[in-house]
């Protein structure tokens, strides 16, 4: 549980909100609508988490991440994932170079060595290549040839993927999915949004994005987020929300028992709390509310729960199961009950 000073947090919250909205405004110069998706990506940015965006081609997923990179003074790298992409194409490799002293081995860094990495269409690469990201995402380092190379901080992986049902895609391993802080589902634009997209993209004017935030500022805000206070009953609600996704356990709902194969990991609880702290700051509060937890629940847990055969046969989504949990889970069941 966080133990920050509420007065100190509130004193810095106004500057945080101002910089948050500056970045968001720059991104919205290029991205029309999808405000909840932009907010989700920015939450990942300010807690130091990785983000996975899923949607059919052409919805602006790559444009969103590229626009965000232009609004930040961070080293940016884009990796286009394809079936023939090899792990060394991501992490780098050891090569032989000629020097005045003869030949020697040197490590040539791959595109993963950037502060912000766009893994475009990540599920088009083979599982072996996808796994090349695992160490970088979790440990912030890359090991090649027995030697470990640290990545610069802050470090983010922003990945896009097409729906699994599409031809030529490979499902991401559960271990890699769990390392994404949020999974955001990008939908189609509405009528007025599509009209505005045409106005911006079929005329002569082209909006310019300005860099408004740098790495040290982002790192400072990540520390500020962690100082937001979480009351015991609010943290317990987050804990019970995660435990409710575990089939045949104490807090599982009938719907969970019927349709889920397995539930969310402890990383889901971490994501719930950290994301809720950002929402609290954006609402000018130095403490987390239960509604903040509910707001973070779907993007934090939808990719960490797996439907069983019956759930898939019924055409359900994990979102439907999670919504059922949020609708039935009591807000205050007594801290420590069932521990």
Q: Distance from CA of residue 49 to its chain's centroid?
A: 5
* CA distance readout (Å), 245 to 21, 254, 327, 332: 34, 10, 13, 18
- pLDDT, mean of residues 315-325: 92
Residues 219 and 233 in one domain: no
| Beta strand pairing call for 213-214 and 72-73 | parallel
Assign 172 a pLDDT band (cuts: 50, 70, 90): confident
Identify the domain boundary among 212, 227, 242.
227
Residues 131 and 273 in one domain: no
| Environment class of 225 (CB within 10 Å of its CB; exposed 0-12, middle 13-18, buried 19+) | buried
Q: What is the pLDDT of residue 305?
A: 92
Indicate whether 291 belongs to any domain: yes
Identify the domain boundary among 209, 227, 245.
227
Residue numbers of the domain that contains 324: 229-330
| Environment class of 325 (CB within 10 Å of its CB; exposed 0-12, middle 13-18, buried 19+) | buried
Model pTM above 0.85: yes
> Which of 47-61, 100-114, 143-157, 311-325 is modeled with the greatest confidence?
311-325
The DSSP line for 93-145 is EEEEEEETTEEEEEEEE-TT-SSEEEEETGGGS-HHHHGGGHHHHHHSEEEET
Structural tokens at position 283 = 């609402």
Residues 274 and 296: their CA atoms lie apart, in Å, by: 9
Identify the domain boundary among 227, 257, 274.
227
Residues 322 and 66: their CA atoms lie apart, in Å, by: 31
Residues 123 and 81: their CA atoms lie apart, in Å, by: 7
């Amino acid at each position: 549980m966080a133990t920050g000073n509420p007065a100190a947090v509130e004193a810095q919250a106004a500057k945080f909100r101002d910089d948050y909205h500056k970045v968001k405004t720059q991104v919205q110069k290029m991205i029309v609508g999808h405000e909840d998706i932009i907010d989700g990506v920015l939450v990942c940015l300010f807690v130091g988490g990785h983000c996975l965006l899923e949607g059919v081609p052409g919805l602006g997923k790559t444009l969103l991440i590229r626009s965000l990179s232009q609004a930040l003074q961070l080293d940016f790298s884009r990796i286009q994932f394809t079936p023939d992409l090899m792990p060394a194409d991501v992490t780098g490799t050891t090569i032989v170079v000629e020097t005045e002293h003869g030949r020697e081995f040197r490590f040539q860094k791959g595109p993963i060595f950037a502060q912000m990495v766009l893994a475009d269409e990540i599920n088009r690469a083979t599982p072996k290549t996808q796994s090349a990201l695992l160490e970088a995402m979790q440990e912030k380092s890359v090991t090649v040839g027995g030697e470990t190379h640290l990545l610069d901080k802050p470090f983010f992986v922003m990945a896009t993927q097409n729906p699994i049902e599409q031809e030529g895609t490979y499902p991401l391993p559960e271990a890699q999915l769990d390392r994404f802080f949020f999974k955001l589902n990008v939908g189609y634009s509405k009528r007025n949004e599509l009209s505005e997209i045409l106005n911006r993209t079929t005329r002569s004017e082209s909006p310019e994005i300005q860099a408004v935030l740098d790495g040290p500022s982002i790192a400072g805000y990540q520390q500020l987020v962690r100082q937001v206070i979480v009351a015991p009953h609010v943290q317990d609600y987050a804990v019970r929300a995660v435990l409710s996704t575990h089939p045949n356990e104490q807090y599982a709902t009938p719907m969970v028992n019927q349709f889920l194969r397995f539930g969310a990991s402890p990383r889901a609880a971490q994501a719930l709390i950290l994301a809720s702290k950002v929402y609290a700051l954006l609402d000018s509060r130095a403490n987390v509310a239960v509604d903040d937890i509910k707001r973070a629940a779907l993007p934090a847990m939808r990719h960490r729960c797996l439907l069983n055969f019956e759930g898939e046969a019924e055409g359900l989504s994990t979102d439907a199961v999670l919504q059922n949990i949020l609708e039935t889970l009591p807000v205050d069941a007594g801290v420590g009950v069932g521990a």
